[in-house]
Structure 1
Amino acid sequence: MQSAKESFEDIREDATKAINDVNANFATKAASLTITATAGYRNAVEKASGGRNTMILDAQGNENIMVVIPRFNCEDINAAVLAATGVDMQLGVGTHPAFRTNGVDRGEILVGKYQASAGVGGGCSVIGGVQPRTSVNYDTAKSMSANKGANWHMMSIHEWAAIALWSLANDTVPRGNTYYGLAHDARHETALRADNGMPGSVSGTPRTDTGSGPVTWAHDHSAYGVQDLVGNVWEWLDQMRLEDGRIITTLDNDPSIVEENWHRHTAYFDSTSSSQSGTGDVGSSILSSTITNRNGPVGNDAHDNPYVHDALFSTIAKDPSYAPNEALRRLLIESAGDTGLAGGLYVRNYGSRFPLRGGNWYNGSAAGLGALNLGNARSFASTSIGFRPALFV
């Protein structure tokens, strides 16, 4: 015969088991509901956009709205630009390198619809209506993108150029927050500032919420395009660097290649000035096969010496010794003519520099799809610099 104490222990054990079973069952049901809800969210995004957008939940549990960019041929883009502008961009033939990895073609790439914003698990999200994640250096931005899971990476120089070329060919080159919450070249186009301030007011925090501008700020001038490529904050890009003025890139869109194995082009950003005094603008750049004028000491990654600036990347002068480079034209680093694609060039041709594109909220006409900033070391961080993840599927 059981004692009262033994009976009580049995009852407590049974109760504990029942509670644990309920908790386990609830966790299973909750996980199932989350998966179902996530799938429903993705389906809704895809249905509303006609398949042009999708939602990907990354390995850290962050939501990411992505734009599907289908593969295109360089010759088709070139023909469209030539017909519209009279400029032969000399892009060659075949698949644009944004859609090739280690020589193998991809049917599409997925690019963040918005600039990266804060996320859970030390990660980042790609969602609209929030402030972009800023004050991250190149390596942090790159690791945050890769940490989202397999095939995630920071947007590459190839992917940026592909989108810019597509926009140029389709006459949908976007504007953006290039003057304190509004577009400098269309002042009626505004977006929600971080400080809720008046568009155009130079005080306060003029960064705008992701995707809060009009459709003309998207790469295809639609609600389903890549948002905020122009202005708001500069964006770090991967797979390119400048080493003491020498241009180094991957040859196609392969984030797995380590920097030491990137291709070293016989192409340099030379300078019209030999000055190494001060920290300001001392002239224009020249594409060359060698360096004649370096504006700072070799190997110096600091920002204590001058830089050079060109109002349009497409008007960079070329030294007679320079051999035109199709790979660099496909990346919008070299240009065969002025197509009107806005954006200035900033270069320090000493030390290691990593690319920023697009411009920020106060750059005005210096911002644009062609804007290229090669003035900063990988360790540099600023409230006017962010990044954008991309994904292979």
Structure 2
Amino acid sequence: MANFDLSSLALQSVCPNNVIKVDDTDLPSVLVYIPAFKNSDVLTGGNDSTHPAFIVNGVQIPGFYYSKYQNVVHTTKLTDGDVAAAYSLPGEDPAHDINFDTSRARCEAKGAGWHMSTNAEWAAIALWCKKNGFMPYGNNNYGKDTRESNYKAIPLHRYTENNVTRTGRVATGTGPLTWSHDKTLSGIWDLNGNVWEWQSGIRFVWGELQILANNDAADPDNPQNTTSTCWKAINAADGSLVDPECRVSDSAAKLSGNTIKLDYVSGVWTYTTTVTSSADQSRSCPFWKVTCTAAIGAAAKVLLRSLAILPDEGTTEASYEGDYYWLNNGVAERCVLRGGSWNDGAGAGVFAFDGNDSRAIVGWDVGFRSAYIPEIG
């Protein structure tokens, strides 16, 4: 049974924008509601289209509920068997050592409408934070933020490195207000650091960017296995979704074509259609430096920016506060993690992006977060 106090959870509901949702296991999660907005509300030069996070299966939704805390997994004994599911609860050691597919399963076990965070949802929150000047801090420096010396969270994980005892993961939601996405008690916690978080609806195949349309990844009926036909590439010229040019079953990358791919040019990740540097290794650059070639049209750029995988127009070094972009474009499939971990320093943050890992990877610094859309199911 989960180790929590319902009375303390009830207090969370008095915070503006916080909601307690009980799932099919009759256990609660604390959520924050994110109302729908347009690309133009959060992007410089953004169009008036609804942000992708608020369109599921072609239908606009009024908003989505997002876990206030990085999730933990608890097993509940039900009459028809044990159910291991994900929960958003304060003061917990976040789930870790869990792969992409298992993370999704733990979220979907909660019932209809529940799903693992999609990259579209993460992007909506990240873009809102930047637009409103609330770039959240977090546990990216062994229990504290690199920009803070006195504020710390409750440590739940310690280890020894080079004869030095380090703090790793901290208890969910126990950092200062600067760790909240809107700098209030009602905000979303730990989007910067603590553990990396799996994101659904996005992957790279031999360096080709592939996504599910809009926020279709929130619906479990749209499969995300390696061979799913829901995966689409992006036409570089007009931003439309098309059949991929690269497939997991291919023995090597297709280095040129019409779809958006990632090339590493002079130490910078570059969206393009022709790859000149493909390597099975992790390579990186600051997020604010990620760029495009002339092959990427205006509509495609807006889509990339709406997914928080390309910096906004007029970006400067200070715009993203050191967040980093890591990727491996030389292997068949790589899934996506966001946010950073306790030891990524300034490279962690709401725009931090990691496309290095297979869906099977597990790590003590890799977790996830669930979300809920009542219109699904």
Task: Report the TM range for the smaller structure's normalisation.
Answer: 0.7 to 0.9
User: 1:175 and 1:202, CA in 2 relative to 1: closer, same or farther beyond 3 A?
Assistant: farther
Aligned 8 A contact 1:230 1:368 in 2: yes
User: 1:193 and 1:327, CA in 2 relative to 1: closer, same or farther beyond 3 A?
Assistant: same
Task: Give the 3-state SS of the residue equivalent to 2:260 in structure 1.
Answer: strand
The equivalences for 1:2-21 within 5 A come to none
Q: How far apart, CA to CA, are the structure 2 residues paired with 1:253 and 1:207?
A: 30
Give 1:234's aligned amino acid: W
Percent identical across equivalent pairs?
A: 30
Where does the alignment leave 5 or more consecutive residues of structure 2 unmatched? 76-82, 235-258
The equivalences for 1:350-361 within 5 A come to 350-361=331-342
Q: How far apart, CA to CA, are the structure 2 residues paired with 1:205 and 1:169?
A: 32
Task: Give the 3-state SS of the residue equivalent to 1:374 in structure 2.
Answer: strand
Structure with the bigger percentage of helix = 1
Residue 332 in structure 1 maps to residue 311 in structure 2: no
Residue 391 in structure 1 maps to residue 346 in structure 2: no
Corresponding residue for residue 235 of structure 1: 197
Aligned 8 A contact 1:268 1:290 in 2: yes
**Rg larger in structure:** 1
1:263 maps to which of 210, 217, 232 = 232
Task: Give the 3-state SS of the residue equivalent to 1:118 in structure 2.
Answer: strand
Q: How far apart, CA to CA, are the structure 2 residues paired with 1:70 and 1:43?
A: 22
Q: How far apart, CA to CA, are the structure 2 residues paired with 1:179 and 1:93?
A: 39
Query: How far did residue 319 of structure 1 move?
Result: 2.7
Q: How far apart, CA to CA, are the structure 1 residues paired with 2:9 and 2:170?
A: 26
User: 1:75 and 1:59, CA in 2 relative to 1: closer, same or farther beyond 3 A?
Assistant: same
1:119 maps to which of 74, 96, 106 = 74
Aligned 8 A contact 2:291 2:310 in 1: no
Aligned 8 A contact 2:38 2:47 in 1: no
Corresponding residue for residue 341 of structure 1: 320
Aligned 8 A contact 1:230 1:367 in 2: yes
Q: What whole-Å deviation, never above 9, does each CA across 1:307-350 have from its counterpart, x for those lacking one?
A: 2100x222113233333422111001122342612410111002
Corresponding residue for residue 24 of structure 1: none
User: 1:175 and 1:41, CA in 2 relative to 1: closer, same or farther beyond 3 A?
Assistant: closer
Aligned 8 A contact 1:172 1:219 in 2: yes
1:55 maps to which of 20, 39, 54 = 20
Q: How far apart, CA to CA, are the structure 2 residues paired with 1:376 and 1:73?
A: 31
Task: Give the 3-state SS of the residue equivalent to 2:357 in structure 1.
Answer: coil
Task: Give the 3-state SS of the residue equivalent to 2:151 in structure 1.
Answer: strand
Aligned 8 A contact 2:70 2:369 in 1: yes
Q: How far apart, CA to CA, are the structure 2 residues paired with 1:41 and 1:227?
A: 17
Give 2:271's aligned amino acid: L
1:366 maps to which of 347, 350, 359 = 347
Task: Give the 3-state SS of the residue equivalent to 1:216 in structure 2.
Answer: helix
Corresponding residue for residue 103 of structure 1: 58
Residue 66 in structure 1 maps to residue 31 in structure 2: yes
Q: Which structure would you say has the larger RCO, counting Cα contacts within 8 Å and 6 or more residues apart? A: 2
Q: How far apart, CA to CA, are the structure 1 residues paired with 2:111 and 2:192?
A: 27
User: 1:189 and 1:45, CA in 2 relative to 1: closer, same or farther beyond 3 A?
Assistant: closer
Where does the alignment leave 5 or more consecutive residues of structure 1 unmatched? 1-36, 79-87, 274-282, 297-305
Aligned 8 A contact 1:62 1:119 in 2: no
Aligned 8 A contact 2:142 2:166 in 1: no
Task: Give the 3-state SS of the residue equivalent to 1:159 in structure 2.
Answer: helix
Corresponding residue for residue 293 of structure 1: 277
Aligned 8 A contact 1:42 1:56 in 2: no
Give 1:338's aligned amino acid: T
Give 2:53's aligned amino acid: A
Instruction: Note the aligned Cα RMSD (angstroms).
Output: 2.2
Task: Give the 3-state SS of the residue equivalent to 2:150 in structure 1.
Answer: strand
TM-score for both structures, normalised by structure 2:
0.80
Query: How far did residue 63 of structure 1 move?
Result: 2.0
The equivalences for 1:302-321 within 5 A come to 306-310=281-285, 312-321=286-295
Q: How far apart, CA to CA, are the structure 1 residues paired with 2:10 and 2:282?
A: 48
Aligned 8 A contact 2:73 2:106 in 1: no
Aligned 8 A contact 1:62 1:123 in 2: no
Q: How far apart, CA to CA, are the structure 2 residues paired with 1:65 and 1:330?
A: 26
Task: Give the 3-state SS of the residue equivalent to 2:216 in structure 1.
Answer: coil
Count of residues in Structure 1 that have an aligned counterpart in Structure 2: 323
Task: Give the 3-state SS of the residue equivalent to 2:129 in structure 1.
Answer: helix
Corresponding residue for residue 246 of structure 2: none
The equivalences for 1:74-113 within 5 A come to 74-78=39-43, 88=44, 90-113=45-68
Query: How far did residue 99 of structure 1 move?
Result: 1.1
2:265 maps to which of 272, 288, 300 = 272
The equivalences for 1:186-265 within 5 A come to 186-195=148-157, 203-255=165-217, 256=219, 257-259=222-224, 260-265=229-234
Structure with the bigger percentage of strand = 2
Q: How far apart, CA to CA, are the structure 2 residues paired with 1:360 and 1:54?
A: 27
Task: Give the 3-state SS of the residue equivalent to 1:365 in structure 2.
Answer: helix
Q: What whole-Å deviation, never above 9, does each CA across 1:217-236 have from its counterpart, x for those lacking one?
A: 01110111110000000000
Aligned 8 A contact 1:180 1:202 in 2: no
Give 1:57's aligned amino acid: V
